[in-house]
Amino acid sequence: MSQLIDIKVPDIGDFTDVPVIEVFVKPGDIIKVDDALVTLESDKATMDVPASAAGMVKEVLVKLGDKIGEGTVVVRIEATDSGTATPAGPPAAAPAPSPASAPAPTAPAVAGGLVDVKVPDIGDFSEVPVIEVFVKPGDVVKVDDALVTLESDKATMDVPSSAAGTVKEVLVKLGDKVGEGSVIVRLESGAGSASAGVPVATAPAPAQTAIPAATASAPVSLAVAAAAPTSSDTASLPSLPLGSVIHASPGIRAYARELGVDLTQVKPSGPKNRILREDITGFVKDAMSTGIVPGRTPASTGGGNGGGLDLLPWPKVDFAKFGPIDVQPLSRIKKISGQNLSRNWAMIPAVTYHEDADITDLEAFRVQLNKESEKSGETKLTMLAFLIKACVKALQKYPEFNASLDGDNLVLKQYFNIAFAADTPNGLVVPVIKNADKKSVFDIAKESGDLAKQARDGKLKPADMQGACFTISSLGGIGGTYFAPIVNAPEVAILGVNKSAMKPVWDGKQFVPRLTLPLSLTADHRVIDGALATRFNVYLAQLLADFRRVAL
């Protein structure tokens, strides 16, 4: 016996409006448990939504660019008792709920070929005004076509069609306030399902790079990179005529102010020239890649920034004319981390401070404990576990390092969550040890080992990468002497660690061999000055030289 199963977004922490950046399945695909269905991207990490059941995909209820949260239905599948997919007819008919208070459906309501398209999960918003209506009775729509636009005090969102068909009735008008489950449009659909919709790109194909230009009735998806201006047309900005009305929600305007972006220079991609969040992000990314700073005139136009330095556009080179080349797309993790690192590098006035820690005695102690643990079966200790414990002690002594900037305020945290960079085949990810001050070195060693394995296997949960206060980036297993890590905003400092090495150290009478660990502390100079950063480094080195100090 077959059954329809809704696969929903699991717990993804405190995120409520996380954009969909990749869709891996389409109607008709056969999936297994834990197969990736879609990829979400928060401001800190990317996460795959896995299938919680096996079967055949009947309907994909999200599209590229949709912003979703915990509980949002992503895919509807047809499964059997044995967990394998078998063909089946459309869902059973259900009476159409009232437009004002209809709950979120598990399947489109179908009655005599009529399909009610409802507002999906839009977070905690319950009365969101309709600011644009894109369809009228008689229009033919496809799956994922935009029907209406809603605008809360934080964001603008399009309600896509979950089915294909002819519009029989539009049940909302401009100014109406709607919420999750409200019926927007009633369609006439012979199939009564979304299976006739436009197929979504399947994994592992990368996001398309050539997509038709958007029209007023078909908003650009996130895969288009928000129609960001290329280096060739940046000089033609501003896109909007002088004095024209800028269409952007309050949240979008606040986002632009935060990044220092003049909205008159942003090319809108939303319906009726509405500026979307992705347009601003794309504009800033293009400015960084071309060297044209938002608000400045390109160097080719002769300046205009009050005497400041105009940067030249990024060079365009045909590398193939010099010899054979192999073009490979960046991994998803590298693309997203690259955006975050570019922002952090450009916006944080960071300074790196170096210090050497004598870990001769600590390493001998660690080796001794590991020999004993072989007999007792306990977890083997790594130097990272000792580093995390020592960093907690240093954060407690210097609370400015356990803080984040929030406008003109400094948020001092009373908890101690330590992140560490983990190397994976797809790039670096940063799992977090929560409440490290309450855990022993053995507990930290076991937890960090488990998280590192999950990272390599691609099994990290979003909650495993959230809430960090301070980050450790260790290259000890690779080598190197010193390096300058980039602060992981909104943290104010990060510790870089290289491979320990034996060095001759003068003890007052002679040079003796000591095992030395290179430390590189990068700090946000807006919060931490050079004297404080050096004190932190020296204190941390003292803790590692004599680990008994951690217990004091």
Please state the domain extents for the chain. 1-90, 94-190, 222-319, 348-551
pLDDT of residue 247: 75
Let me know if domain 222-319 sits in CATH 4.10.320.10.
Answer: yes
Tokens of 298: 């390109």
Q: Do domains 1-90 and 94-190 have the same CATH topology?
A: yes
SS3 106: coil
Active site residues: 525
CA 142 to CA 288: how far, in whole Å?
37
Let me know if domain 348-551 sits in CATH 3.30.310.80.
Answer: no
Choose which CATH entry (3.20.10.10, 2.40.50.100, 3.30.70.1400, 3.30.1950.10) describes domain 94-190. Answer: 2.40.50.100
pLDDT of residue 156: 66
CA 209 to CA 204: how far, in whole Å?
15
Distance in Å from the first CA to the final CA of the chain? 65
Task: Give the distance, in angstroms, between the CA of residue 401 and the centroid of all CA atoms in the same chain.
Answer: 24
pLDDT of residue 269: 87
Just give the CATH number of 1-90.
Answer: 2.40.50.100
pLDDT of residue 295: 44
- DSSP 8-state code for residue 422: E
Tokens of 218: 């078909």
CA 196 to CA 141: how far, in whole Å?
11
SS3 550: helix
The distance between the two most distant Cα atoms of the chain, rounded to a whole number of Å, is 96
pLDDT of residue 96: 37
Q: At what angle do helices 383-397 and 530-545 cross, to 10 degrees?
A: 130
Which of the residues in the chain have pLDDT under 50? 81-112, 191-243, 291-310
pLDDT of residue 316: 87
Tokens of 47: 């996460």
Residues sharing a CB contact under 8 Å with residue 120, sequence separation 6 or more, in sequence order: 61, 66, 68, 72, 73, 104, 159, 162, 180
* Phi and psi torsions of 227, nearest 5°: 50, 40
* Cα pseudo-dihedral 357, 362, 367, 368, rounded to 10: 170
Model-level pTM greater than 0.75?
Answer: no
Strand order in the sheet with 177-178: 156-160, 146-151, 128-133, 177-178
